[in-house]
A = this chain, B = another copy of it.
């Protein structure tokens, strides 16, 4: 898949940059990370965007900081604390971990996030534009955690639903809905936590830059495993904080043997869940405007590819879409899918500048998403292209993409 290729090329580019920077003197203006556990001084970040960690491991022989695909050796002091820093990182959010005598473990001083197929450490490098996702004293929406029964999966599933600030005040008002998906190795916690979805939307709505709408965040990676006797823990969606007790299978419900009517393909698999279960559930539990003009799908990376696959295949469901670092919509896509093209209201395509440069330089598939999107716009589609400056295939690109996309949506 081309996005993986892009990702690895972007990673290699970042590594080279770090290796050069690491040889220079480190600037001693480190401040605590906003992602630290309460009361913890470390990890810290300096004005050159280097990350410094500190961990107590008095009997260890080797401790490393593993961030951005590079492992940095830490140095031990007399009290048994290991300290060291990375080369400069991009602005925004990064997953990382420590390696203690060969054991990959979370940093006990950081908060934890789900990405790279694990719950582990994350750190935010201060960004010049971080104000747009800060918690501010503006009218506040709500991030709601929801369980629901999925017929497709024959199991209880779990999602988050953002409702805008006025949702509970205007009891008869109905709202458009955006279905917003995470990337590969991530889950439904990505947009609420790393993505700061609620803060981005609250701030945009408060400034009058976006119309209020509902956002639904589900787990697009889940494929139902074959149930093993006596192993309820295996029945929960990938990456999800599971319920305790009898696991997620409700009493009396029993999955049929393997398959559950879901194709092996992840995109089709999530399409069934989304179209047959999630959307009807949202339309019944929330005051939505339940038509395609007022329904959008967007996603990052794998979620962007799912967005394209699902919106093209279901023009009766969606008229608006956003693809963040996950491909493009071309003129051919509209020509080959007239039903999809017919009522298309909005197409939004975005990339981080670093990943885009690599793609256009031919390290990806060699196509130029900007040109493709401009051609699409020239063909009469309401198509927009956005590039996140100075970022790669990472969360700062996607926070910014949501910020831009939300200002165009449902207007």
Q: Is the CB of B243 within 8 A of A199?
A: yes
Partner of A105, one of B108, B168, B236: B108
Tell yes or no: A330 within 8 A of B by CB.
no
**Given A140-B148, A244-B134, do A31 and B103 touch, yes or no (CB 8 Å)?**
no
Q: How many copies of the polypeptide does the oligomer hold?
A: 2
Chain B proximity of A62: nearest CB distance (Å): 7
Q: Is the CB of A37 within 8 A of B102?
A: no
Q: What separation, in Å, do the CA atoms of A199 and B237 have in the docked complex?
A: 17
Tell yes or no: A259 within 8 A of B by CB.
no
Partner of A135, one of B58, B59, B161, B248: B248
Binary B-proximity of A132-144 (CB < 8 A = 1, otherwise 0): 1111111010111
Tell yes or no: A12 within 8 A of B by CB.
no
Chain B proximity of A202: nearest CB distance (Å): 8
Q: Is the CB of B57 within 8 A of A59?
A: no
Instruction: Count residues of chain A with CB under 8 A from any CB of chain B.
Output: 89
Chain B proximity of A146: nearest CB distance (Å): 6
Determine the main DSSP class of A at the interface with B.
loop
Q: Is the CB of B232 within 8 A of A34?
A: yes
Binary B-proximity of A241-266 (CB < 8 A = 1, otherwise 0): 11111111011110000000000000
Q: Is the CB of B108 within 8 A of A244?
A: no
Q: What separation, in Å, do the CA atoms of A161 and B140 have in the docked complex?
A: 14
Tell yes or no: A363 within 8 A of B by CB.
no
Partner of A131, one of B102, B231, B245: B245
Q: Is the CB of A102 within 8 A of B80?
A: yes
Tell yes or no: A171 within 8 A of B by CB.
yes
- Cβ of A247: which chain B residues have Cβ within 8 Å of it? 34, 134-135
Q: Is the CB of B156 within 8 A of A37?
A: no
Other contacts beyond A59-B102, A98-B105, A100-B100: 9, CB < 8 A: A60-B102, A61-B61, A105-B106, A131-B246, A134-B245, A135-B147, A135-B247, A137-B250, A144-B145
